[in-house]
Amino acid sequence: MQYQKPVIIQEQRLKMNPQLYQSIQLMAMPIQDLKTKIQEELEKNPALEIIEDKSEVSLEDLGKRQSEEYEYFENSSDPGYSRNLNEEASNNKRKFMEGAIARPESLQHHLLWQLKLQPIPENWFRIGELVIQNLDGNGFHQTPPETLVSKEDLPLLPEVMDLIRKF
C-alpha cells in the first residue's frame, strides 16, 4: 500500500526570459560590436533616436573632471588636510592626536566646568572654586574646607558644597 505525504521543497531557479537573454548578450559584446548593433537597431526602428552621444569620452577628460572634484573637496572640507604632507608632519599630527586623546580630564577640571555653567553669585563661584581645587583625584578634601574660606563666607560654605556634591 502506498501513502502520500505532503512535502515542501524549496528551490531557487532562474528562468531566462527574452529580455534577460538580450541583456546578457549585450553585456558580453565588445564595444565596437555594441555600437554596430545600436546603429542597426536605430536603422530598423524609426521611433528610436540617440538623444546625446557621450560615447566619445577620453580618459584625459575623465581624469581632469575627477581631479577637479577631488580638488573641490580638499579645499572645502578640511583646511588642515593635505595629500602632500611629508612624513615628519604626518608623525607630528599623529602624536598630537594621540596626546589629545590619551589625556583624560581631571576631576577638578570637570567640576569647575560644571560650576561655570551654574547661574550663581560671584562669591558662591569663588567659594566653589576653592573647594574644588582642594579635592584630590578621588574627590576627598586635602584640607578641611572651613580653613579655605573667610569668616564672612563660612555660612555659605555648606550650600556651595551641596551644589558641588550634586555635580
Provide the domain count of the chain. 1
Measured CA to CA, the distance from residue 151 to residue 156 in angstroms comes to 10
Whether the per-residue pLDDT at 62 is higher than 60: the answer is no
- Helix segments in the chain, DSSP class H: 18-28, 31-44, 59-76, 87-102, 107-116, 122-133, 157-166
Domain assignment present for 149: yes
66-124 per-position pLDDT tens digit: 555 555 554 545 555 555 556 777 777 777 777 666 567 888 999 999 999 999 999 99
Over 90: is that where the pLDDT of 163 sits?
yes
The residue behind cell 536603422 is 43
User: What range defines the domain where residue 118 resides?
Assistant: 107-166
Other C-beta atoms closer than 10 Å to the C-beta of 140 total: 8
End-to-end CA distance of the chain: 83
In a domain, 37, yes or no: no
* Burial (CB count within 10 angstroms: exposed 0-12, middle 13-18, buried 19+), residue 135: middle
Residue 140 placed within a domain: yes
At 63 the pLDDT is 61
Residue 104 confidence (pLDDT): 73
Joined grid coordinates for residue 165: 556634591
142 in any annotated domain: yes
**Range with the poorest average pLDDT among 11-25, 81-95, 111-125, 134-148:** 81-95
Q: What's the average model confidence in pLDDT over 30-36? A: 91
pLDDT at 4: 87
SS3 label, residue 15: coil
pLDDT of residue 149: 92
Residues with Cβ < 8 Å from 54, sequence gap 6 or more? none
157 within some domain: yes
Q: Is 128 exposed, middle or buried (0-12, 13-18, 19+ CB in 10 A)?
A: buried
